[in-house]
Amino acid sequence: MPGFFLHVNAVMQCTHMAKATIAPSQPRVLVGGQPVATMASVIAVAGCPFQIPVGAGTKPQPCVQVKWGMPATRVLVSGQPVALAPGPGPGPGVCLSIEQIPAGPPIVGFVQIRVMGT
C-alpha cells in the first residue's frame, strides 16, 4: 500500500492528545530537510494523561510509545524499511503503555506530502 515517507518532524499524538516524537534513526536520507523515519525509529510519547479505573480509584496507564505498522516494501534506508503514513488522520500503528497495553491508534496531524513509497 503506498504512503508518504514519515519524517522526524511529523506532527503526531497519542489517542489521548499527548505529543509523540520520532527519534532519528539515520542521518543520511532526508525529505524536506528532515531525516526519514525507518521502522527502527523509536516513537516516544510524553505527557499522556490516560488512566484506567481500578476498584474505587484509578491507575495511571499513560501511552509511552507508538509501534508503527506500515513499513515500505520497496524502499530501504540503511537496511531498514522506511515508515510510511497514509496521510493526516489515524495512523497505521498502536499506542502502547509502559505495560505494553494497546490504547488506540496514533493521530497524525502533519506529514510531508512530496515523497511517496510502497
CATH code (residue 109): 2.60.200.60
| CA-based nearest residue to 107, from 81, 79, 78, 86 | 86
Strand partners, 96: 65, 102
Other CB atoms within 10 Å distance of the CB of residue 65: 19
| Range scoring the smallest mean pLDDT among 20-24, 51-55, 81-85 | 51-55
The pLDDT value recorded for residue 118 is 92
Averaged pLDDT, 53-76: 95
- 21: cell is 516524537
Domain count, the chain: 1
Amino acid letter, 69 = G
Summarize pLDDT for 45-60 with one digit per residue, the tens: 999 999 999 999 999 9
> Domain range holding 59?
3-117
